[in-house]
Amino acid sequence: MTDTPDHTPSPAERKARAEAAMRAAEAAAGALDVRDAPEPAQAPPPEPGRTPEEGLRALEALLAETGAPAALAARTAARLGPSAAGRLREDPWRLLSVPGVRPEQADHFARALLGDGARPDDPRRGGALVLHLLTEAARQGHTVTPAADVLSALERLRYPDPPRAVEAALDEAEVLSLTEEPEFDEEAFEEDAEPAEPEETLGPARWALAEEAAAEGFQRLTLTAAPLLDDTALKELRDGLAEDRSLALTAALRTGVSILRGTPDGLAGTVAAIASAAASQGVRTAVAAPTDRAAADLAAGLGEGVAVTSLHRLLEPREDPSAAPGAVGYGRGEQRPFELDLVIVADGAALDVELCAVLTEACPDGAHLVLCCEPDAPPPAGPGRPLDDLEASETVPVVALDDGPPAGPLGELTESVRGGGLAAVDAPGREVVIVPAEGAAEAVHRAVQLVADSIPRALGIPVEDVQVVAPAAGGDAGAGALNAALKARLNAGPGAFGGMDPGDRVVVAAPLPHAPLGETGVVAGGGPHGLEVDFPGGAAVVSPAEASRLRHGWAVPVALARGTRRPAVVAVLAADGLSRPLVATAFGLARRHLSVVQAAGPALARAVREDGAPARRTRLARLVAQ
């Protein structure tokens, strides 16, 4: 239907348009796009006859014409595609969809391009501001935001007519308006109680539709599940097992979706037992780890007949020329599901709503899905919190493994943090070392000293087996600052290939066809053809367009390091961004040795005691329970 002045599209019509657009994008790309930082929509395919190189030159000319920084060209081209220059001439506020661009910068660009035509009340500006606000909220993990909050934020940004801005965003079908029904409590049923009004929320279509797809997937798997083994076979497998292990095995083989919670060692042993038992009975079984490196560790404890791989490889990532810039295509999905009966995901808490939707759509009717996670695990890097929402929906069984005695000083310390404390542990073999630091500069210096000298010399653990982790990428003691110092000490060089040199350790900050999020590798070389990287899953050539998804990886944020344990870990903790789940996860990554560079002062104990992990606004729990 064509909109006319007499016809304003309803929310249902807008939602239908968005769903159709998203399905078309998925059909072209082969799967939903997965990124390290949420973006609201995909760039279009190249214009006929325009190559990426031609598009980049046109964009560079446009940026020079408007006085915008030349360094913005690569990010803008990656976000908006080869037709970026033309799209920005049509709507200069599209620049606001490029990561890192602020509203005032987009306004300056629009004035430089449009002159007096760049009005503060331009609907294009209003729609871009709404999408920007929701995208920033998604970076904090939220899939939806109350409409009232968006209107207030628009007022602070001095947009003259906030409701009109929301309407403009809805008309573009990149934003959905969603109604949240109020929850009922005892007071709601009192005779003179005023009925609560439904709350209107707004969400980027990408995440809202992914959340709905994930909910539908969980419901389908629950409804189509049948026992994978008969009672006699299951009883034989359960004989002699402890009660918690017996319950975990029963849930995995009897129900379509189940959650398994436990410590890393407890989960690894139980996953191995369930997978091996199921495979021994002819059940087609796969175990999916966060990375190829983690999969290799898990495979060592499993028997024959069980496929162990990263979830990324299980979904079969592929090169897809028709995919939008930045997209990762997957060969497995609704049209080509897994040929499996049982899928066990080793770190289910790391799934954001988009990857969760991809996973559930790839599971065929009747398949069983087991999602594992550590107690109080931190939320995923992307928007949403599917595993916690699924548990909150009370629609699937949740099995908590009994805690055994902590495994040595490392286990003692990690369990202490999970309980809200910071116990002083006895570590005669220097399994745990606390290194005080007065500030960020000293913390970085101490970390470099530990990696380059102390740990290899005193413990015999080589540099390549030491991983530095930090709460976040930014900050004076964040992963970025640590990597700059570590590169200067371990592999100084000019950054010949987009800031990288042969010998640099890199981490995948957004999924690549060659490697999953959080995978680390070593640069072997490079040139105009791309960056040559040796990953645990094999050597790969990362094209220049995809190289922006790599970061230096001697130090990584905990969100990227999670799920992949290392012989030695150096946790650099400054005061900002700490929470009990983050600290417990950082400590739990170490197998043999943990050095804690303590630059947070009393903030560390306070964060562990108070568990200040920020909440996320999501809809999945309600959607699954419907």
Owner of token pair 């798997």: 221
User: Within a 10 A sphere around the Cβ of 484, how many other Cβ atoms?
Assistant: 13
Cα–Cα distances (Å) from 434 to 276, 425, 454, 479, 587, in that order, read: 39, 11, 13, 19, 12
Nearest to 80 by CA among 58, 65, 64: 58
Q: Which fold has domain 228-404?
A: Rossmann fold (3.40.50)
Give me the pLDDT at residue 305, please.
75
Distance CA 581, CA 607 (A): 10
Write out residues in the chain with pLDDT < 70, as ranges: 1-50, 182-196, 303, 320-327, 612
Distance CA 270, CA 266 (A): 6
* 432-436 and 590-598 strand pairing: parallel
Owner of token pair 């190559």: 51
Give me the pLDDT at residue 470, please.
97
Model pLDDT for residues 210-257, shown as the tens digit of each residue: 999 999 999 999 999 999 999 999 999 999 999 999 999 999 999 999
Give me the pLDDT at residue 327, please.
58
SS3 letters across 462-516: CHHHEEEEECCCCCCCCHHHHHHHHHHHHCCCCCCECCECCCCEEEECCCCCCCC
Model pLDDT for residues 140-199, shown as the tens digit of each residue: 999 999 999 999 999 999 999 999 999 999 998 899 999 877 665 555 556 665 666 788
Give me the pLDDT at residue 40, please.
39
Say what percent of the chain tops pLDDT 70: 88
Give me the pLDDT at residue 21, please.
39
8 A C-beta contact, residue 406 and residue 415: yes
Give me the pLDDT at residue 185, please.
55
Give me the pLDDT at residue 434, please.
96
CA angle 202, 203, 208 (to 5 degrees): 130
Range list for CATH 3.40.50.300 in the chain? 228-404, 409-610
Q: What is the pLDDT of the chain when averaged over all its residues?
A: 88
CA R_g for the chain: 25
SS3 letters across 140-185: CCCCCEEHHHHHHHHHHCCCCCHHHHHHHHHHCCCEEEEEECCCCC
8 A C-beta contact, residue 570 and residue 467: yes
Give me the pLDDT at residue 2, please.
35
Give me the pLDDT at residue 137, please.
95
The SS3 call for residue 287 is strand
Distance CA 333, CA 358 (A): 7
Give me the pLDDT at residue 243, please.
95
* 505-508 and 520-527 strand pairing: antiparallel
Q: Based on the number of CB atoms within 10 Å of its own CB, is 462 exposed (0-12), middle (13-18) or buried (19 or more)?
A: exposed
The Cβ-side half-sphere exposure at 161, using a 13 Å CA radius, reads 13
User: Distance between the two ends of the chain, CA-based, in angstroms?
Assistant: 31
CATH class of 409-610: alpha beta
Nearest to 179 by CA among 196, 164, 197, 198: 198
